Amino acid sequence: MIGADAIAEIVQTYDKHGWVLRRVLLSAELRQQLRDNIIELFGEAAVLESDIDAAWFSRPPKQGALAWEIRHLSESPYALLEVLDENGPDFEVSLQKVESRLRENVTGKTNALTSGNSNGKL
């Protein structure tokens, strides 16, 4: 499981490139592990209970809709990028769809790593 220092590094890297931390999705396990560091790590970003650990960042566009990126909070970098209209009627639904894609992809990777070892070899 990822630690507070690694999460701080992720947030700082995004910040350095002009991204703003908007929301954080935390499993009960990671929330418990980070309980003393949540405000320090995530500032004013909304912290939501979830079955995945991820952070939503946004960045103002040069023109057009806003870029939103969801970054899985793990040691292995994995993120999905979407360009969304925050004022659109389906904005929250769009975010949930991206979260579902992240969940499926991360779960698929985890399952492949654990089930791919069924032949008994390391």
pLDDT tens digits, one per residue of 49-99: 999 999 999 998 777 778 999 999 999 989 999 998 888 899 999 999 999
User: 57: closest CA among 93, 2, 20?
Assistant: 20
Give CA–CA dist 70/117, Å, rounded: 29
Q: What is the DSSP letter of 116?
A: T
pLDDT in tens, 9-52: 999 999 999 999 999 999 999 999 999 999 999 999 999 999 99
In order, the DSSP letters of 37-87 are THHHHHTTSEEEE-SS-EEEEEE--SSSSEEEEEEE-SSS--EEEEEE-TT
pTM of the model: 0.84
